[in-house]
Amino acid sequence: MTRSLTARIERYPVRGSFVIARGAKTHVDVVVAEIVDGALRGRGEGTAIYYRGESADTVLAQIERQADAIAAGAARADLLTLMPHGAARNAVDAALWDLEAKASGIPVWQALDLPRPQPMLTAYTISLGEPGAMEVAARAASGHELLKLKLSGEGDLDRVAAVRRGAPDARLIVDANEAWGGQDIERLAHALDKYRVELIEQPVPAGEDHLLDTVNSPIPLCADESCHDRASLGTLIGRYRFINIKLDKAGGLTEAHALVHAARLRGMGLMTGCMLSTSLGIAPAFYIGMQSQFADLDGPLLIEDRDGGMRFQGSDVWPPEPALWG
């Protein structure tokens, strides 16, 4: 029987509010790709990378254009040339991984030659807000071992100090979301060091990474918006000590797994992140998180997740069940 590819947009409300330097979200639209082969069905999910100009509609259209190629037998390796990196390729790539696991009976973690998955520490996000509000949010998240703070530039030291008051024992990482282009980054990093911040994500706008050439930060800097796939690495060496791998940026687990090895060869540390997404989108990212020093896979906690989602308890996320994916 010929394989068939279909896709659809699904909308999920945000729990409370999700605010970063670029604005607030009340819902997220994800795109689900399904590949059916006889009695087997593989699923994958992608969330549009809005700062790359993607939308759920453009992602859906990109997926639908691959229907003939999938019907003709296109494999995951073929997608690397058939589609650009981004959320559409991620969704189709994940659907193929899921289909292969079901057809072979070999779970994805074994296909990747990884150890048996165990519950994994994930960061929990504190949305951007006034210092007082972020302190309250940090107190409410006191059960989470690792907090990730969304920052915006002006007033960020006060925000971090407030979160530290609210969560005196938590580990902290901060995400500037490209907002520190006009800041004295080295001075700011030294000031943040006393609050035991462990990682600073994307301090400068993507494409302006040269601003970091003279920065001597006591806290490791991590490229997020500046790092997409393996082709991104060349401009990051010497400027960042970590990269944030997101499957929607990389264009799927296949490329992301290759990116892990390429980054390690260059001596770079790894963080695994996510867009706002359901557990179906987080499931394949879990296996990149297993290979990373930091994991930020709390997307399903920030929205009304799909039924049958992944298990989150305390500070940990559990591996996906086969009924969900992989």
- Catalytically active residues are 150, 246
User: What's the DSSP call for residue 196?
Assistant: T
DSSP codes, 128-181:
---HHHHHHHHHHTTT-SEEEEE--STTHHHHHHHHHHH-TTSEEEEE-TTTTT
Rg (CA), the chain: 19
Centre a 10 Å sphere on the Cβ of residue 119 and count the other Cβ atoms it contains: 14
The answer to whether 270 and 292 have CB atoms below 8 angstroms apart is yes
One-letter amino acid for residue 215 of the chain: V
User: What's the DSSP call for residue 268?
Assistant: -
Q: What is the dihedral of CA 47, 58, 29, 256, to 10 degrees?
A: -10
Query: What's the rounded Cα separation, in Å, for the pair 185 and 187?
Result: 5
The length of the chain is 326
Tokens 């490209």, residue?
A: 178
Mode of pairing for the β-strands spanning 120-121 and 316-317: antiparallel
The angle that helices 131-140 and 156-166 make with each other, rounded to 10 degrees, is 30
